Amino acid sequence: MNRITNLFTEIFLMEEKSFARKVLCLIREIIRSRPHSFSELIPILILKKDIITEYFSVDDIWSIFSKNKSILLTLYENGFLNNEVIIRKSDISVAYFKYFFPEIQLIDYNFFMTKVHSYGIEQYIDNYSSSLEQFKQLRMEGHGASDVEIAIRKDDLISFQYLIEFYDMDINQTRIDDSGNFESDDFIVWTTPNFIEYAVFYGSIKIFKFLLLRGAVLTGRVSRFAFAGGNYEIIHILEDNKVDFDRSCLKTALEYHHHEIVSYLHDTLDINFNNQSVRSCIETCNYISLDYIFETQRMEIKKTNELEMKTKYGLIETI
């Protein structure tokens, strides 16, 4: 990570706008696929605030980081974003409004009260207004706040067993729905995973194995969560359980920058790249895998041409 940090710093020192957007997008995607990198990469943005705010408007910055509310909040707190854009975006999105409600309440109280009623979120505001510091801590962590979600992410099997037994939870039907609006990864928000899907996403191997023993169903989409999470042991257990790995798994591995897993899917399982693979790399700034795809395609074309030439001139036996 230090090497990446130094590289980003050098690029910003070049003060080349053509590189700046790519760098910002790459930082966004690395934080998405490696959340622990947040504390290392955000300081780079803060260090280069003058250059970034000179090159990009508040709407540009919001657009680049719009899918990660934790980054947006940090940028707002450090002066990259202003009150006006917070109000404007919250006016059309209940998710943004709920996330930024402490700030909105201070910026424009009349607007705040109007939107609370129009969005019908009085109970949500009442619940978190009484524990505002906890709310702020949860949103900075960027993950679901329920006890069972925390237990799964920490791979705390004892707490997890207690919770599902105490609340008599159905391990297949209960969904992670991000009702608190804290989750920073849209993949989790939009898919509302069940317990085993959530466990494989976070690489929680003990809870994953426990759920398997308890008869949890391996859904048709569980492999995508596994390739987003990138835990090799879980992936191999799924393989042993005859779970299909297809091009959607490759797409997910590309989106989450799991380069070795991309190689495994292509080289070992013969899942070929296509135009969507290239598009996924470009959209998520995965330049390492993009280079690998192009190099692989060049090698395959070369092998095909060599085979055709050898066959044509009788250098190998044909059937």
Per-residue pLDDT tens digits for 67-96:
999 999 999 999 999 999 999 999 999 999
Check residues 177 and 198 and name the one with the higher pLDDT.
Answer: 198
The answer to whether the beta carbons of residues 195 and 174 sit under 8 Å apart is: yes
**Contact yes or no for 104/87 (Cβ under 8 A):** yes
Q: Please give the pLDDT value at position 144.
A: 87
User: By the 8 A CB rule, do 171 and 214 touch?
Assistant: yes
Asked if 31 contacts 68 with a C-beta cutoff of 8 angstroms, the reply is yes
What does the alpha-carbon distance between residue 193 and residue 177 come to, in Å, rounded to a whole number?
A: 8
Output the pLDDT for position 78: 98
- Determine the distance from the C-alpha atom of residue 172 to the mean position of all C-alpha atoms in its chain, rounded to a whole number: 23
Across the chain, mean pLDDT equals: 90
% of the chain with per-residue pLDDT over 70: 89
What is residue 315's predicted lDDT score, i.e. its pLDDT?
A: 47
CA distances from 52 to 28, 30, 39, 72, 206 (A): 14, 18, 19, 14, 43
Mean pLDDT of 46-70: 93
Average pLDDT of span 198-214: 98
Partners of residue 194 on adjacent β-strands:
175
What is the mean pLDDT of the segment spanning 44-49? 89
Backbone angles phi, psi at 178, to 5 degrees: 50, 45
- Indicate the pLDDT class of residue 298, thresholds 50, 70 and 90: confident
Would you say residue 54 has pLDDT above 60?
Answer: yes
